Every structure is written in structure tokens, then in C-alpha cells.
Amino acid sequence: MTTTELRATRPIDPDKLMAFVFRAVGEVGATLNTALVVMGDALGFYEAMADGRPTTSTELAERTGTSEHYTREWLAAQAAGDYVTYDPTTGRYVLPAEQAAALTDESSPAYLPGFFQLAHGTVRDADRILGLARDGDGLGWHAHNSDVHDGCERFFRTMYNGHLIGEWLPALDGVVDKLTAGASVADVGCGHGASTILMAKAYPRSTFVGSDYHQGSIDVARARAAEAGVGDRIRFEVAPATGYSGSGYDLVTMFDCLHDMGDPVGAARHVRETITADGTWMIVEPMAGDRTEDNLNPVGRAYYGFSTLLCTPASLSQDVGLALGTQAGPARIRDVATAGGFGRFRPAAATPFNNVLEVRP
């Protein structure tokens, strides 16, 4: 039978079909809501509603210096998606306390705008991926729009603020004692340096080298470190993970970047060459299980989306182009570490969004 004949023989359950269509309508609304959340964040709509006072679209427009035509439509879309509540008797909208925390409080572990900004920037570049998917070429991290870089920092910084100092580093064998006494640390693929700066603030006796292959990210990292008052203990450099400078590191860290690299095994080899015999390589990777079926859940769905549009093209744009994927899983990362010459590997901690892996010589 031909493909067309085979397709014609497939029975269709109309109820299942309509259920799928209506679910998809919800997803189209959710897709557009990504841009609306970025808009609400950038124009200060959420901030203006964070005190919980019921507001009309006219009042919101006045408070934010925007046009009521836009606040009216935006508020209704937010109400349809349960981001705000609407009282038809007063025509007023309220941002619930939980939504206010997640959308306006940068210190909250649930802070979300960076995640939306990252998704928004990623989708904006998606048309560039179509042709690449045909011929197998890649698109480097540096080649994306700045919402990808800024959104990534804002999203992951929330995770690091919530877990790095209090949970992840203490989960590694003997690392906190070394950092407290004064250790030498390389933070590889550091992006805007959020993790490097956080560690430098927590451990004033330690010194840090943050590196990333992307010049634009390193420029931002330097500025952020100076603002945070730790510029004297962090040296930032533009370098690939296979060639960052220095040696004798007590701790090498890689936050959400190993899977983005073209040559993660080459990077592992370089870590092995530059770490002390008793050192630790901490790999923080997106939460994933080892099998596809382990990741068929909301977090895995988001990460497979980023993998298709962002991380896999990033890896394919570099030498080797191993394309581990965002959902590689601990077993695959262990293979990479072993191929790089490491002997010990241990899952040390986990959150809903990250796996923390301890690798030692």
C-alpha cells in the first residue's frame, strides 16, 4: 500500500480529534501568552498590580504610562489564562499574591519572567532553525538575540540563588571546607557570571576564573562582578571549555552548559588536565532521566523544546558537534566524564529543574 492509501485506512475517533483540537487551542493561547508575559514584565503591568489592589484597565494604563487600548486587551488575555482574576461586577482585575510573587519578586525561587524571556527569544529565532534542520548545521549561542542571553541568566540565576550555596555545594564531598579555607575555582561556560558571582560572594577567601566562549556574555559578566563588588576575586576570560586558562583547580563548575558544547568529551579532558588530583568537577545539567520516557512531562517538554531550537543547534555549530541534547540524562553525562579520564561519578543533588553531578578523578 502507498502512504496515501495507508493514511486513508486509519480510523479517526471524532471525540479524540476534538479533544486534541481544543487542547491545541489552549496551547496557541499559551504560546501567545509568552509574549504577553514578556510585555507585562517589560511595561511594568505586573509590578503595578503586585500590591493586590483591584484595578481597571484605565487605572493600569495611567499607572504604567501606557495606552488603555493595550491594557484592556492584555488584562482580558491574562484573566482568560488565570494569571489575573476578573470581577465582572466592578470591571476590576486582581493579580493574586502567588502570581505576584512568581512574576515580580526576583528573590522568590518561583520567579518566572526569565523563563518566559528565554522562551520568547528562542521562538523568535526559530525560523532560522528550519533550514538547519534539513542540512544538519548548527546555530551558535552567540548568534541568538539578546532575550536568549538575558532570559537565560534571569531564569538560571533564580535556581542558583535558591540552591547553589545552601544545597548543591554542601552536597559535594569536602568542597565547602575547601571553599571556606580558600580554593581555586574555574566556572566554565559561565555566561553572564551569575553562578561565579554568587560563589565569590559566599566564599571571600576563594578565587575564581569565569570563562565562556561568547565575548558578549563575558563583557556582561565583568560588569556584573564589578557592580557586585567581587571584581577583584573573579577573572573573566573569553575561552572555549577545551582551552580555558590555568591549572590546579580545586573545583571546576559547569552550570547548564555541558550539553551546549560541541565537544563535551574534549571539555572533560581539559577539566581532567586542569583539576587537582583531589579536585571536584561539579556539573549542573537540566533535570532529565536517562530514557526518553522519563522526560515526557511538563519540564521535559519545555527542555526538549529548548533542545530542538537552542541547545542542539548550539552544539552542532561547534567542532565535533556531539549534540548531547538538553535531556541527555546522568548516564550519558557519566559516559562523557569517563571518556574524559574521570573515575568517580555521583548524582549529588536534584531539583525539579536541575541534576547536580559530582565528578572526581
Contact footprint for ligand SAM (CB under 6 A): 141, 152-153, 156, 189-191, 194-195, 212-214, 217, 240-241, 255-257, 260-262, 314, 318
In this structure, are residues 65 and 59 in contact, taking their beta carbons and an 8 Å threshold? no
CB of 98 to ligand SAM, least distance (A): 26
Spatial distance between the Cα atoms of 17 and 23, rounded to a whole number of angstroms: 10
Q: Among residues 58 and 146, whose Cβ is nearest to ligand SAM?
A: 146
- We find the least distance from the C-beta atom of residue 152 to ligand SAM, in angstroms, to be 5
Our CB check for ligand SAM shows the closer of 190 and 265 to be: 190
Contact 296, 272 (CB under 8 A): no
Residue 287 contacts residue 302 (beta carbons within 8 Å): no
> Toward ligand SAM, which CB reaches closer, 206 or 315?
315
The H-or-E segment that residue 63 falls in is helix 57-64
DSSP state of 319: S
Give whichever of 191 and 329 is closer to ligand SAM, judged by the CB atom: 191
Instruction: Output the residue with the shortest Cβ distance to ligand SAM.
Output: 191
Taking the chain, what is the end-to-end CA distance rounded to the nearest angstrom?
Answer: 57
Q: Tell the smallest beta-carbon distance from residue 119 to ligand SAM (Å).
A: 13
Q: What residues contact 187, with CB distance under 8 A and at least 6 apart?
A: 193, 195, 196, 199, 208, 209, 210, 211, 252, 253, 254, 255
User: How far, in Å, CA of 194 to CA of 220, rounded?
Assistant: 10
Q: Shortest gap between Cβ of 108 and ligand SAM (angstroms)?
A: 18
Task: Work out whether strand 344-350 and strand 85-87 pair parallel, antiparallel, or are unpaired.
Answer: unpaired
Q: Which is nearer to ligand SAM, 92 or 120 (CB)?
A: 120
Q: Which is nearer to ligand SAM, 61 or 190 (CB)?
A: 190
- Report in angstroms how near the CB of residue 251 gets to ligand SAM at its nearest: 15
Q: How far is the CB of 160 from ligand SAM (least distance, A)?
A: 7
Interatomic CA distance for residues 216 and 190, integer angstroms: 12
Q: Which is nearer to ligand SAM, 43 or 314 (CB)?
A: 314
Which pairs with CB-CB distance under 8 Å and at least 24 residues apart come from 129-135?
129/308, 129/309, 129/313, 132/313, 132/316
Evaluated on CA atoms 111, 114, 120, 125, the torsion sign reads negative
Question: Least separation, in Å, of the C-beta of 103 and ligand SAM?
Answer: 20
Residue with cell 531539583: 351
Question: Closer CB to ligand SAM, residue 60 or residue 188?
Answer: 188
CB of 144 to ligand SAM, least distance (A): 10
